[in-house]
Amino acid sequence: MLAFALVSLLAAPFAAAQTIADLVRANPQLTRAAAAISANPQWAAAGPYTLLVPTDGALGNAAGLGSFLANAAIDHRTTGYAYAIDTTGTHRLIFDNYTPGNPNPEIHVRFGTGEVRTTSQQQASNGWLYTLNGPIPPESRALATLEAIGATSFVSAVRSAGLATYVDGIRGFTILAPDNDAFTAARATIAALTPDQVRAVLLYHIIPTEILVSTQLGPRSLTTSLTGATIPMTLGTDPKEGHTVITLNGQGRITLADSFAVGGNVHLLNTVLVPANLPSGAVAIPPITGGGAVPPVVVTTTVAAATTTTTTASAATTTAARPTQAATNSAVGAAAGSLSAFIGGLLALVAF
């Protein structure tokens, strides 16, 4: 009996990896998620997937999504900043890992206007499971999202220009919204415009047929809701901090990226963008369209053996080197061979 227990204990680390569903079922902090396993067969399917789910305590009585399942394996060891969409094609997130490679990573997950932190991460045979310290908020319509992130002046202007129904009705859009400080700085310029020209300026900030996430921005021209007007987008380097900056229309910079709204995405700008040739006549409200498709997931990783780590409040920024998959497989194979030989000898000894 003692020998059997010892053999089982030694063999356990080399048992088949568990699926995401198995990990949820075994976690005492995920009883509410475990109750939903039968309704979510993908949690046990081949994958790869990434499941993000609030713990029982974090979920509480808050409204929102009970879980988020992405059609990709997001590996925190190698992922710094990633965009993903859930398997229903209706919800998006930004996975922002401040310390990739750290065994105790600081990972911020943003859904629309809400942000939560991961509290643990487990690798499964079919992907990754991340627990969250807060509920997953549902996405809001465009105007509510804009108000929540500090673009209330832009929203007021949109309503005054008769564009509220259009902005909340289009799908597949990107809005480049000036923040309140930008509107304050441009007050004199806006005051000198006719009502139709103000409407034109507001339409110039809307990309009606593309959902652009920050990971996809690059040098190109963007087609706006203002007929015939495009926004040139360029990349450069910040002279003080040295990081890459995105410049729009030669002046505006994105100060807050990726606030997902129902059917689209919103970025905050530090400048009111004014088209080169403002119309002198009437500016019609465009028809509401279905817009562009939701961008696909941009994260792919290789699923390996099951591992578990737990996030702490550590703010460490060191990055550990990750061995290659070939090196990992070789090491595991060698260890398994040694274990098999040891177990064989142990069984022979017990039989004797």
Tens-place pLDDT, residues 165-178: 999 999 999 999 99
CA 44, CA 63: separation in Å to the nearest integer? 26
pLDDT of 88 reads 84
Q: Is the pLDDT of residue 341 over 60?
A: no
Instruction: Give the amino acid at 246.
Output: I
pLDDT of 36 reads 92
**Which whole number is the average pLDDT over 328-338?**
34
Can you read off the two tokens belonging to residue 260? 């997902």
| Ramachandran quadrant class, 263 (left: phi over 0; alpha: psi -120 to 50; beta: rest) | left
Nearest to 82 by CA among 58, 64, 57, 105: 105
CA 231, CA 224: separation in Å to the nearest integer? 7
Give the model's confidence band at 297: pLDDT under 50 very low, under 70 low, under 90 confident, else very high: very low
pLDDT of 242 reads 67
Can you read off the two tokens belonging to residue 82? 């990633």
**Which whole number is the average pLDDT over 181-201?**
95
Length of the chain: 352
Of residues 112 and 286, the one with the higher pLDDT is 286
Give the lowest-confidence range in 227-231, 233-237, 345-349.
345-349
pLDDT of 245 reads 76
Tens-place pLDDT, residues 27-84: 999 999 999 999 999 999 998 999 999 999 988 766 556 889 998 999 999 999 899 9
CA 19, CA 43: separation in Å to the nearest integer? 7
CA 174, CA 209: separation in Å to the nearest integer? 8
The DSSP output letter for 296 is P
Nearby residues of 200 by Cβ (< 8 Å), 6 or more positions away: 226, 229, 275, 278, 279, 283
Of residues 82 and 343, the one with the higher pLDDT is 82
For the chain, the distance separating the N- and C-terminal CA atoms, rounded to the nearest angstrom, is: 14
Strand ranges inside 112-219, DSSP E: 114-124, 127-132, 173-178, 206-207
pLDDT of 291 reads 56
User: Is residue 259 exposed (0-12), middle (13-18) or buried (19+ Cβ within 10 Å)?
Assistant: buried
Task: State how beta strands 49-54 and 127-132 pair.
Answer: parallel
3-state secondary structure of 297: coil
pLDDT of 316 reads 25
pLDDT of 239 reads 73
Residues 200, 203, 205, 209, CA torsion sign: negative
Nearest to 313 by CA among 106, 41, 167: 106
Give the model's confidence band at 243: pLDDT under 50 very low, under 70 low, under 90 confident, else very high: low
Residue 76: CB atoms within 10 A of its CB come to 26
Q: Is the pLDDT of residue 347 over 60?
A: no
Q: Is the pLDDT of residue 305 over 60?
A: no
CA 326, CA 159: separation in Å to the nearest integer? 58
CA 98, CA 119: separation in Å to the nearest integer? 14
pLDDT averaged over every residue in the chain:
79
Give the model's confidence band at 91: pLDDT under 50 very low, under 70 low, under 90 confident, else very high: confident
Q: Is the pLDDT of residue 293 over 90?
A: no
- Whether 62 and 74 have beta carbons less than 8 Å apart is answered as no
CA 154, CA 169: separation in Å to the nearest integer? 17
Instruction: Give the amino acid at 160.
Output: S
Give the model's confidence band at 317: pLDDT under 50 very low, under 70 low, under 90 confident, else very high: very low
Of residues 7 and 186, the one with the higher pLDDT is 186
Q: Is the pLDDT of residue 302 over 50?
A: no
pLDDT of 308 reads 32
